[in-house]
Amino acid sequence: MNVSVIGLGKLGLCTAACIASKGHCVAGVDKDESVIETLKDRRCLVRENALPELLNESFERISFSSSVEEAIFSTDVTLIIVPTPSDRDGVFSNEAVVSVLREAGSVLKRKKDFHVVDVVSTVMPGSSEKEFIPLLENMTGKKCGIDFGFAYNPEFIALGSVIHDFLNPDLVLIGSSDDRTGECLRNLYESFVDSSPKFAVMSLINAEITKLALNCYVTMKITYANELARLCGAIDGANVDVVSEALGADTRIGGRCLKGGLGFAGPCFPRDNIAFQKLSSAVGAELFLPSQVVKSNDFIVDYLFDIVDERIENGAALALLGFSYKAGTHICECSQSLKLMNRFLEAGYLVLAHDPMAKIDVPLRYKGSVTVCDDPLDAVISAKGVLLLTPWTIYASMDLKILERKLAHPIHFFDCWRALEDIASIDTVKYWALGVRSGRKE
């Protein structure tokens, strides 16, 4: 099948590379000329595990241009993967999708063969039937489902493992305007996935709701584990990992996304909850869970701030370890660590910051109060309090013998993931673990 991918960013470029790696010809389009020039130069701007290798392997089967026209004429299916940023109210903006559809509409009007337009970007439920299809039908004078097909087919990938997740999905969600379009996308996925996913082929509106409902359910589950962690942290002898491991063994619950910790972040989860809440109010069926999930997630920052602030005087140096929103990616969008850093800086603490991948974005007015360290040990030995915020393996595998030798003063160590419990054996370390009361040595 010949496939075009419009929008070659974090998700689009990985999608294009994965599809091409399985033998399809892919026309990659981006409106940003510099993106196209860089890709033609065989340089990869998106930092994602295994992507450079996959692109290199598939280079002969991907063309790069900024022409939507060329891409639609030369392919059977067009995947639209452009940004849909949240507006001030938390509703996703369709501006970029509509702009691509306008270009696509003028080409589809002239194209004789049946073509499938597939929106992959996350959109507000109702967008396809109320906005996208009427736009294309008006522009082309053609009938959706007969002269062209329309699909909404969002991905459930995690940054850092996009390639793996894309090629090994549990679920392929396809909302389609008609059977032919649904079948076409199902065939496309069957031709490249390495797993045996559940194909959920449904109406456009159901697929739009499912995308948000699934992400919001996952954040609710994470939040449940985070709340359990706070509860266990307040009860002598309690340990959140013991409790959640048992919970996860029940198949009604399942063990994934059940590690109590610092909370969820990133470019999708936080905004999806807000959008889901907005949707429910807009249709007059107010949901209560999404806003509580957001509230609980935000509260973790205040909770941790207070834990540290009670034990360490303002003005002291704090080592903050980990800024990306999770291990395995450099992305810091909505990172809880950044929120905490701002709280500490506002309160007058000095910050020694480390992350193996992320660029730590220090607000201009606090530049003098933050030192970015290349080595986490340097940050730890110079601080009075240390917070392990992102569970990168380099933190869990810090050499405690070297640390003990270099530590010239007592430190408080706040471990948000129970990743370095052995550090409690060092006499000069006062260890506190989120979710474990008995682990305290204070």
Ligand X SMILES: NC(=O)c1ccc[n+]([C@@H]2O[C@H](COP(=O)([O-])OP(=O)(O)OC[C@H]3O[C@@H](n4cnc5c(N)ncnc54)[C@H](O)[C@@H]3O)[C@@H](O)[C@H]2O)c1
Give residues in contact with ligand X (CB under 6 A): 6-12, 29-32, 35, 81-84, 96, 99-100, 121-122, 155, 157, 159, 267-268
Least Å from the CB of residue 384 to ligand X: 37
Least Å from the CB of residue 195 to ligand X: 18
**Which residue lies nearer to ligand X by CB, 31 or 186?**
31
Least Å from the CB of residue 176 to ligand X: 19
Least Å from the CB of residue 375 to ligand X: 30
**Which residue lies nearer to ligand X by CB, 156 or 303?**
156
**Which residue lies nearer to ligand X by CB, 156 or 192?**
156
Pair 151, 118: CB distance under 8 Å: yes
The distance from CA 21 to its chain's CA centroid, rounded to whole angstroms, is 23
**Which residue lies nearer to ligand X by CB, 31 or 430?**
31
**Which residues touch 304 (CB under 8 Å, ≥6 apart)?**
262, 340, 387, 414, 416, 434
Strands (E), 203-337: 317-321
Q: Name the residue among 39, 136, 41 with its Cα closest to residue 80.
A: 136
C-beta nearest to ligand X: residue: 9
Sort strands 25-29 and 2-6 into parallel, antiparallel or unpaired.
parallel
* CB burial readout 218-247, b (16+ within 10 A) else e: bbbbbbbbbbbbbebbeeeebbbbebbeeb
Least Å from the CB of residue 391 to ligand X: 19
Least Å from the CB of residue 325 to ligand X: 11
CA distance 81 to 12: 6
Pair 266, 159: CB distance under 8 Å: yes
Least Å from the CB of residue 268 to ligand X: 5
Question: Sheet containing 171-176: which strands, arranged edge to edge?
Answer: 62-65, 25-29, 2-6, 77-80, 116-119, 149-152, 171-176, 198-202
**Which residue lies nearer to ligand X by CB, 67 or 371?**
67
**Which residue lies nearer to ligand X by CB, 124 or 387?**
124
**Which residue lies nearer to ligand X by CB, 9 or 439?**
9
**Which residue lies nearer to ligand X by CB, 267 or 376?**
267
CA distance 415 to 422: 11
Tokens standing for residue 97: 């999708």
**Which residue lies nearer to ligand X by CB, 10 or 384?**
10
Phi, psi of 406, deg, nearest 5: -85, -20
Least Å from the CB of residue 143 to ligand X: 25
**Which residues touch 322 (CB under 8 Å, ≥6 apart)?**
337, 354, 355, 388, 389, 390, 391, 392, 395
The type of residue at 401 is K
Tokens standing for residue 49: 């595990």
Least Å from the CB of residue 229 to ligand X: 25
